[in-house]
Amino acid sequence: MKTTSLYNAVRSALLATPLALTGLSAAHAAETEEAKVERIEVTGSRIKQIDMETSSPVTVITAADIQLSGEATVADVLNNTSVNSFGSWRGMSGYGSGASATSSVQMRGLESYYTLVLLDGRRMPGTSSSAGASADTSRIPMAIVERIEILREGASAVYGSDAVAGVINIITKKDFDGVALSYDTERPSEEGGDSNRFSVTSGFTSNKGNLMLTFEHYKTDAVMDRDIWAMDDATYGDYSGFSSVPNGVRPNGSWYFNDEMCGTVENTVVLGDGAQCGYNHGMVTKLFGDVEQNSLLSNFNYALTDDIQFRGRASASFAKTDSRYAGTPVSTNYPVMAADNPFNPVGEALSLRMRSAQIGARDTRTEISNIDFFGGLVGFVDVANGIDWEVNAQLSRSKTNSFNFNLVNDDIVQTLIDSGEYDIFNTSGMSISDWDAMMAGFYGKAAHTGLYSAEYESEQIDAVVSTLLFENQLVTIAGVVGAEFETVDFTQQSDPQSASGRVSGGSGGDDVFATRDRTSMYAELQFALPGNIDINTALRYDEYDQSGDVGANFVSGKFDNVAPQVGVAWRPLDSLLVRASWGESFRAPNMGEMFSTQALSFEKAYDTLWCDTQGNAGADAVYCNPNGSQQHRTWFGGNPDLKPEDGESLTLGAVWNITDDWSAEVSYYKVKLDNKIGSISVARLLSEEQDLGAGNHPAIIRDDSGKIETIYSFDQNIAGLTTSGYDFKTAYKLATNYGDFTFKGELTYVKDYVSQSAPDAEAIDYAGLQDYPDLRGNLGVSWSQNKWGAAWTTYYIGDQASGNDVWGTNYLADIPGYVKHNVQLSYSHDYNGSITLGLNNAFDKKSPTWYDGFVGYRDVYTGLYDVLGRTVFLRIEQKF
């Protein structure tokens, strides 16, 4: 049967554009004798599409949109989209496993591992901090981005188990001739955060193919806690009882410290009624670290024959981040000074609260390298209706090394105290300088450098075959079948001392030695029916075979699932599309959730039982700080008995091209997850203990005074979550004698976000509470005329209730709505270049605070709000 000219036009366009074969694509076909295909866009499907809009809702952020946003990184651009409802993680000091040096995206408010991130349709390598489950969006150089496509629905049937909340496909530039240079610089109004970026792009195109190479260097300076959180408190009142002037706790719970030194030694202050010496750790901590990154990417394709093309991509990025936390609190194991120690000032045994500030802050150097190679053959066989095929291979590797300086070995600290050689309370009356020098020598003998390394390596081969199965005057049926096989090795390991639980100041113990094999097979059918109705169906089978060393023994687990998906699109009018899509999803436990050994963390929570129920709040103002900043030693770990999560998603919506220049879209979404994996939160464990009584909860261990000593929490299938809401989008173009104007806007309303932390726990609707805004949107206006251009973008985050009535607190604040504005002006000169000058957060909008009436620790989520203030940026571009 001879192929139709329309189908040949589609096939030719797709074959000429390698990107179109990745599954999320757009291409232009040549005019043929019978039809002209102006634009082909395949979104959320591996079947070649003719219509620009399908049954799947997609947001497209073009390179021009990225330029007009004024944002510095891909991570920032994604963070500002309305579908990223509650903000996304941005690396900060004090987080282990390399997390302080990474960024991620969290569509629909779900954790980052529910969003699949692709680069040109291929999975990006996972980060070590997520056990390979989440991609690091900060590692993508801006210079290579052609556009970003965001599929706003679950797509497990098409892309696999990690596409539960949606898919983000970052599409790189191709088909470039010549050389282009670009330089960007940013200067925030707050101290620190200065950034510079330089990129060079070169490309060559012939009648057989093309080659493109991009290099980018990016560097940004650190931002200190004290410069962001001080607000009206010049000292930045974030105090800890673990002080550089040691505190000692008597058997009766009262505290002792040298009140002559406290307040004189740097960053110390007498707290409250003089019960303790506090240390202001926020004065020395970096909120965001110093970051330097070099990235390289090459795209290439070559026509081997008229019907076979070789395509490939090679990329590498190398980044280093220097983060800083305050000097180490000796808190993993509290040292003790015996009553008969010659330097014991009270003659009673003292449990010590010490901080090794004298040897410096805890500095962490994190080095991350990503390497990705991809190559494949794309072809066409002219039989029957024509068969398109492709065979691909991909190798991805991500490696993280972290060096944590100035940690403290608890056992050595205890030995040095027991030696009777160190007057840590300065009972002999040394000068401050002499005492400081003694303490520096003391901590220097106990100093430890923590080492952490992780490596994620993925090898994948896949094949796809697609064809037009049937066509007549009324019905067209197209189909695709494919298979993928991937093998993953993941390891993360801390040095043995850090993993032993005998070192303070770092994290360790969450070692993982695991492998995973994934086998996937999928099929899709698309039906074009009378009445302008299209039906898309997909079915995917995934099998995960995982094994890992959990310390005591070697365990394994196998999970498989069949995920269906159905989408319907109907055009009652040429200008109106009505669509619906439903699908099931599942997520297999990642290798960290299953196989990580016990890891130590220090979780913040308010001990309501001891402080309030037992009436001890006045006895220890630091431990019972009402902002809940007291940290509790908490052990986390994996669970090899975990089961997969189940879910389903539904989207309904319509797209209306009101005029040739004005379009609008409305969509409804709903995502439901069952059997959700998570560790029981410290807050939940403390709430359960309220009902059981002190000493009766097996996961909470208290000391002789009744305070929390240790908490245990491990991953379990305990939770459920349902979220739903609406997306609104519109775009309008207006041509006038005074220039061309473009208006774009999007708004997401989160109707509900109901989470249940355990089967017997109360379900809580978080939508509209602190850090869960139920409204988020942006509006952009751009103008261009001749060589000039300008843009104004407004970002909006809705107000949020304090949640005091939910949490039983009285110190949280209602958060007002937040609006910031980015503006810019650009000029394109006659020498094939341009200059852009702009202001981000032009009116210097300050971020809100969590707390009512006082400054607290981390008093806003930096992944949701801009904390750097007004930022001036300059961009210079030149092409040759």
H/E segment holding residue 708? strand 708-736
Distance, first Cα to last Cα, the chain: 49
Residue numbers in the chain where pLDDT is lower than 70: 1-44, 46-52, 90-101, 128-129, 131, 230-238, 507-510, 550-552, 622, 626-629, 758-760, 853-859
Give the single-character DSSP code of 444: H
Q: Within a domain: residue 85?
A: yes
Q: Within a domain: residue 244?
A: no
Please, are residues 552 and 598 in contact by the beta-carbon 8 Å criterion?
no
pLDDT at 178: 92
- The count of other CB atoms within 10 Å of the CB of residue 828 is 16
Q: Within a domain: residue 113?
A: yes
* 3-state secondary structure string across 247-304: EEECCCCCEECCCCCCCCCCCEEEECCCCEEEEEHHHCCEEECEEEEEEEEEEEEEEC
Residue 628, judged by CB atoms within 10 A of its CB (0-12, 13-18, 19+), counts as buried
**Domain that residue 834 falls in:** 5-232+286-330+362-413+444-879
Give the single-character DSSP code of 31: B
Distance CA 258, CA 244 (A): 11
Distance CA 510, CA 595 (A): 9
Give the single-character DSSP code of 23: S
Q: Which of 476, 325, 350 is nearest to 425 (CA)?
A: 350
Distance CA 244, CA 262 (A): 9
User: What does the pLDDT look like over 207-216, one tens digit per residue?
Assistant: 899 999 999 9
Distance CA 390, CA 699 (A): 53
Count up the domains in the chain and report the number. 1
Q: Within a domain: residue 759?
A: yes
- Structure tokens given for 578: 């009505």
Q: Which of 832, 727, 826 is nearest to 777 (CA)?
A: 727
Dihedral sign for Cα 87, 88, 91, 95, please.
positive
154: region left, alpha or beta (phi > 0 left; psi from -120 to 50 alpha): beta
Distance CA 746, CA 233 (A): 38
Q: Which of 521, 575, 458 is nearest to 160 (CA)?
A: 521
Phi, psi of 485 (to 5 degrees): -135, 125
328: region left, alpha or beta (phi > 0 left; psi from -120 to 50 alpha): beta
Please, are residues 862 and 287 in contact by the beta-carbon 8 Å criterion?
yes
Distance CA 819, CA 793 (A): 10
Give the single-character DSSP code of 610: I
Q: Within a domain: residue 423?
A: no
Q: Which of 776, 649, 793, 620 is nearest to 721 (CA)?
A: 649
Please, are residues 159 and 143 in contact by the beta-carbon 8 Å criterion?
no
pLDDT at 462: 96
pLDDT at 36: 39
Q: Are strands 512-529 and 533-549 parallel, antiparallel or unpaired?
A: antiparallel
Q: Which amino acid is at 226?
A: R
**Long-range own/partner contacts, residues 825-829 (CB < 8 A, 24 or more apart):** 825/788, 825/789, 825/790, 826/788, 826/789, 826/790, 826/875, 827/787, 827/788, 827/789, 828/787, 828/788, 828/789, 829/787
- Structure tokens given for 559: 């999970």
- The count of other CB atoms within 10 Å of the CB of residue 614 is 13
- Residue 325, beta-bridge partner list: 362
- Residue 116, beta-bridge partner list: 167
Q: Within a domain: residue 280?
A: no
Distance CA 428, CA 522 (A): 77
- Residue 851, beta-bridge partner list: 812
**Long-range own/partner contacts, residues 690-694 (CB < 8 A, 24 or more apart):** 690/608, 690/609, 690/613, 694/609, 694/610, 694/614
- The count of other CB atoms within 10 Å of the CB of residue 394 is 20
Q: Within a domain: residue 433?
A: no
pLDDT at 617: 82
Please, are residues 268 and 242 in contact by the beta-carbon 8 Å criterion?
no
Cβ neighbours of residue 789 under 8 Å, at least 6 residues apart?
Answer: 782, 783, 825, 826, 827, 828
Q: Which amino acid is at 451?
A: L
Please, are residues 153 and 166 in contact by the beta-carbon 8 Å criterion?
yes
pLDDT at 690: 77
Q: What is the CATH number of the domain that holds 377?
A: 2.40.170.20
Phi, psi of 776 (to 5 degrees): -150, 135
Q: Within a domain: residue 86?
A: yes
- Residue 364, beta-bridge partner list: 323, 404
Please, are residues 239 and 271 in contact by the beta-carbon 8 Å criterion?
yes
Q: Which of 15, 841, 10 is nearest to 380 (CA)?
A: 15
In 681-751, where does DSSP find H-type helix? Answer: 682-692
Phi, psi of 657 (to 5 degrees): -85, 90
Q: What angle do CA 92, 93, 95 make, to 5 degrees?
A: 85
- Structure tokens given for 87: 């903000």
- Structure tokens given for 588: 């297999």
pLDDT at 748: 97
Q: What angle do CA 595, 598, 604 make, to 5 degrees?
A: 120
- Structure tokens given for 263: 């307040």
Cβ neighbours of residue 552 under 8 Å, at least 6 residues apart?
Answer: none
Strand residues in 326-439 grouped as ranges (E): 336-337, 350-353, 362-381, 387-409
- Structure tokens given for 743: 């208006």
Q: Which of 354, 341, 338, 343 is nearest to 408 (CA)?
A: 354
410-418 helix and 432-446 helix, angle to the nearest 10 degrees: 130
pLDDT at 373: 93
- Residue 667, beta-bridge partner list: 653, 727
- The count of other CB atoms within 10 Å of the CB of residue 749 is 19
* pTM of this structure: 0.85
Strand residues in 275-386 grouped as ranges (E): 276-280, 286-288, 290-303, 308-325, 336-337, 350-353, 362-381
DSSP code per residue over 737-796: TTEEEEEEEEEEEEEEEEEESSTTSPPEE-TTBTT--SEEEEEEEEEEETTEEEEEEEEE
Please, are residues 777 and 82 in contact by the beta-carbon 8 Å criterion?
yes
Residue with tokens 């095929």: 389
Q: Are strands 239-240 and 276-280 parallel, antiparallel or unpaired?
A: antiparallel
Q: What angle do CA 528, 532, 534 make, to 5 degrees?
A: 40
Q: Which of 20, 52, 42, 11 is nearest to 663 (CA)?
A: 52
H/E segment holding residue 565? strand 554-573
pLDDT at 22: 34
Length of the chain: 880
Alpha-carbon Rg of the chain, whole angstroms? Answer: 29
Q: Which amino acid is at 233?
A: D
Residue 880, judged by CB atoms within 10 A of its CB (0-12, 13-18, 19+), counts as exposed
Q: Which of 537, 453, 400 is nearest to 102 (CA)?
A: 400
